[in-house]
Amino acid sequence: MIIDVVKVTSKGQIVIPRDIREKLGIRKGTRLLVFYRGNEIMLKVLKNVNLNDNKISNAKSIGAGDDKIDDVELKVMQLLRMMKNKRSMDM
């Protein structure tokens, strides 16, 4: 596990540390799903995602309710799996 501290800029930006970017293959243009729960922000690397797919809009409601972080992560993974399955069916 890699842990680091980052600082938020005046524009609300952060820099993901290089070793984390390299390990996850994050490059310019890589899409990340961003969600939060309580005071935690989580990022999920998205690969081959069609952002025009209306299922991506469901991501905004995933964290609603009293779910625990693990439940939210599970819901995000289920959403991503659904998107991947739909994409393979469209081919």
For the chain, 91 residues long, the average pLDDT of each consecutive 10-residue run is: 91 95 94 85 80 54 52 73 69 57
Would 9 be classed as within a structural domain?
Answer: no
Domain count, the chain: 1
Which residues, at least 6 apart from 31, have a Cβ–Cβ distance to it below 8 Å? 45, 46, 49, 51
Q: Which domain holds residue 43?
A: 18-90
Would 4 be classed as within a structural domain?
Answer: no
Q: Which pLDDT does position 61 carry in this prediction?
A: 54
DSSP string, 2-47: --------TTS-----HHHHHHHT--TT-EEEEEEETTEEEEEEE-
In whole angstroms, what is the distance from residue 23 CA to residue 69 CA? 23
Would 55 be classed as within a structural domain?
Answer: yes
pTM here is 0.56
Amino acid at 79: L
Greatest alpha-carbon pair distance for the chain in Å reads 43
